Structure 1
Amino acid sequence: KKPIIRPGTGILERLDGGEVVIGDGSFLITLEKRGYVKAGLWTPEAVVEHPDAGRSSFITIIYLVILTTVLQQFAFYYSNSYFEYVEEAVWAVEVLKESGKPVAATMCIGPAGDMHGVPPGECAVRLVKAGASIVGVNCRFGPGTSLKTVELMKEGLGATGLKTHLMVQSLGFHTPDCGKGGFVDLPEYPFGLEPRAATRWDIQKYAREAYNLGVRYIGGCCGFEPYHIRAIAEELAPERGFLPLASEKHGSWGSGLNMHTKPWIRARARREYWENLLPASGRPFCPSLSKPDV
């Protein structure tokens, strides 16, 4: 099948034409794990001090192998890009509209709304009225919670008759116990989050549910690794028209295991097995949920 992706086409033309846009993942925490980024303020000095780090650890894998559509600027803490208050987000949209470029506005909120209690649906309405062509959520919450928030945004827009494109870039961690502030309030943040990491199968499910919800800009934020982005590309291969190159040997839904020497592992080379797996954390007497600090 011929790929749907049209190089050189603007973001709105792509979305208007039904193309699935895959956003990049976690530059920040990914590079921090590799020792390049200063923790705490999470400054992106690595792009200046160690430019090869970004190219080798994520950008090359995503862009050349997985064929991600959008790579975002790695400028965390340089710009106020994770908005907790819709009022600030609206100001940003109004200023950015002056550039004449399409504006995508995402907020760091969950189903409870922004930090002043403005519901997700109303946040979306205000952003669209301010001029945003794409609205949604990024960071702070896991896949399931993020999709619930986007669903509430979609309902709010529908109630007012407004139409726009939807975007979601969730954490690569499960956060069902988060409060309004998201994963930053968890006692495990930021250095003990690994037991919460989403599997690639969790992310394939996330990608499909996002697509079924009507979201066409789908990606990841903190905690996402290249294999998570590949999972999105694999799940949405029928819609995009092709599998990523990285899947030629890997195989979709574990099909690469069908030549394993162990028969019980060969039996796992099927979607049904991985879709219904309940992964263990491997930690004895592991609590199922944490108690947020605030």
Structure 2
Amino acid sequence: MKRTLEERLQAGPVVCGEGYLFELERRGYLQAGSFVPEVALDNPQALKQTYRDYMLAGSDVVLAFTYNGHREKMRIIGKEDLLEPLNRQAIRLAKEVAQEHPVEEALVAGNISNTNLFNPEDEDSKDSIRNIFKEMVSWCKEEGVDFVNGETFYYYEEAKIALEEIQNQGLPAVITFGLMGENILRDGYTVEEACRLLKEQGALVVGMNCFRGPATMQPYVEKIRNTVDGYVGALPIPYRTSAEHPTFFNLPDGGCSCSLPTETTFPTSLDPLYCNRYELAEWAKDAYRIGVNYFGLCCGASPSMLREVAETVGRETVNSVYSPDMEKHFLFGSDQSLNTANTAYKTKA
């Protein structure tokens, strides 16, 4: 039988593959800048393959790619008429891929996110946001998702509205925050306090995603773990953020020899700033040690990176058969059948 999210959390760590936004832009199926997931309608097979790659790399969840697929974003690009078809299609494709899992059918999660509309002083903005979430979650319910992932909120109150609308549809909720460089949510809450409140209000999992790499997310994840009595999630970006530059929005690249067309390396020039998979594994080990329950990586992640995280927290993935094994490499291998002239040459290569 297909276990629920809560049943899987009770049994051990759950892995959720995120990061489709950057991955699909990298594969050539999404426009950087607007970052709207039109791929669900324009190139459904490309989206299915991306879902599949993350699932086989260890994700227990096929997350429907509707990040930024909300009414405000669709208004900006002049395609509100595609809003409902896009949302339903993304979920249906996710369900098709989830059923392909050869061991246990993957969970399917609906997805809602920051709207960039929230204004603490404007009640109309709050009503607009509630209506945005209400329609998206209603489609999630009708399409039969297992839970809804509400992510990348940088206002506590917007996340609270998201949780309420998920609960109104009777669905479990995972709610995660994106913490900006001020190190506090933009309506004045600490991220650990916001997570505690949402947990008390009924969220199944609370935590952080996006904006920050492992180095600058982990200290706040520890605060959340020490504050929250329940399941905690952590899904950093795979970039080398620092105390001076805690998010990827203003992350510099001192080695770039050309003039960039954008003011910052974000979002299309971050490539030299990646963490390698072993740095991500070290982060996952630390997060697992302190009691994080729900693991993943966000914007910039690749399936091989996610597989490294999954294996670090004790999971054997479908595609673990392709995990690195240098034994038979022509220069660096140790297999006795290798050409010794090559292996002896490795220090000069």
Match of 2:281 among 204, 208, 229: 204
CA distance in 2, matches of 1:244, 1:16: 19
User: Would the alpha carbon gap of residues 185 and 216 (structure 1) be closer, same or farther in structure 2, given more than 3 Å must change?
Assistant: same
Q: Report the structure, 1 or 2, having the larger strand content.
A: 2
Rg comparison, structure with higher value: 2
Shift of 1:55: 2.2
**Residue 72 (1) aligns with residue 142 (2):** no
Structure 2 counterparts to residues 89-100 of structure 1, below 5 A: 89-100=159-170
The alignment partner of 2:17 has SS state of coil
- How far apart are residue 179 of structure 1 and its match? 5.4
SS of match in other structure, 2:283: helix
1:258 corresponds in structure 2 to: 327
Query: How far has the Cα of 1:122 moved from its partner?
Result: 0.9
Amino acid of the structure 1 residue aligned with 2:328: M
- Structure 2 vs 1, CA of residues 92 and 193 (structure 1 numbering), >3 Å: closer, same or farther? same
Looking at structure 2, the residues matched to 120 and 102 of structure 1 have their Cα atoms a distance apart, in angstroms, of: 21
**Equivalent residue number for residue 45 of structure 2:** 52
Which amino acid in structure 1 is aligned with residue 282 of structure 2?
K
| Residue 32 (structure 1) aligned to one of 25, 29, 39 | 25
Contact 1:141 1:178 in 2 (8 A): no
Measured at CA, do residues 177 and 133 of structure 1 come closer, stay the same or move farther in structure 2, by a change above 3 Å? same
4+ runs deviating over 6 angstroms:
none
**Is contact 1:113–1:119 with CA below 8 Å preserved after alignment?**
yes
AA in 2 matched with 1:168: A
SS for the counterpart of 1:218 is: strand
> Partner amino acid for 1:75?
T
Q: Which amino acid aligns with 2:158?
A: E
CA shift, 1:140, in A, is 0.5
Q: 1:20 aligns with which of 10, 13, 20?
A: 13
Say if 2:293 is the partner of 1:222: no
3-state SS of 1:136 partner: strand
CA offsets per residue over residues 98-134 of structure 1, 9 Å max, x none? 2222111101116822123321221112211222121
**C-alpha displacement of 1:145:** 1.7
1:16 deviation in Å?
A: 2.0
Q: Which amino acid aligns with 2:7?
A: E
Q: What is residue 164 of structure 1 aligned with on the other side? A: 230
Match of residue 312, structure 2, among 204, 225, 235: 235
> CA offset at residue 144 of structure 1?
2.2
Structure 1: stretches of 5+ with no match in the other structure: 1-6, 158-162, 268-294
**Partner SS for 2:206:** strand
C-alpha distance in 1 between matches for 2:296 and 2:34: 23
The aligned amino acid for 1:183 is F
What are structure 2's unaligned runs of at least 5 residues? 71-111, 114-151, 252-263, 335-349
Partner AA of 1:11 in structure 2: L
Tell me which amino acid in the other structure corresponds to 1:105: I
State the 1:206 CA deviation. Answer: 1.7
- 5 Å-filtered alignment, 1:49-198, equals 49-56=42-49, 58-63=50-55, 65-79=56-70, 81=113, 82-109=152-179, 112-157=183-228, 163-177=229-243, 182-186=247-251, 187-198=264-275
The 8 Å contact of residues 120 and 156 in structure 1, kept in 2 or not, is answered as no
Is the contact made by 2:236 and 2:297 (CA closer than 8 Å) also made in structure 1?
Answer: yes
Q: State the TM-score, normalizing by the size of structure 2.
A: 0.65
Deviation per CA, 1:195-218, whole angstroms, max 9, x where unpaired?
111111111112111111101110
- Bigger relative contact order, structure 1 or 2, given CA contacts below 8 A and separation 6+? 1
Amino acid at match of 1:204: A
Q: Deviations over 1:64-121 (max 9, x none)?
A: x324201212112124512111111112112211222211110111682212332122
Query: Is the CA contact 2:177–2:191 (under 8 Å) kept in the aligned structure 1?
Result: no
1:31 Cα offset (Å): 0.7
1:172-203: CA deviations, max 9, x gaps? 212115657x3224421111101111111111
Q: Is this contact kept in 2: 1:43–1:76, CA < 8 A?
A: yes
Cα distance in structure 2, aligned partners of 1:207 and 1:150: 12
Q: Which residue is 2:320 aligned to? A: 247
RMSD over equivalenced CA pairs, Å: 1.9
Number of aligned residue pairs: 242
Map of 1:272 onto structure 2: none
Residue 11 of structure 1 is matched in structure 2 by 5
Partner residue, 1:291: none
The answer to whether the 8 Å contact 2:15/2:61 transfers is yes
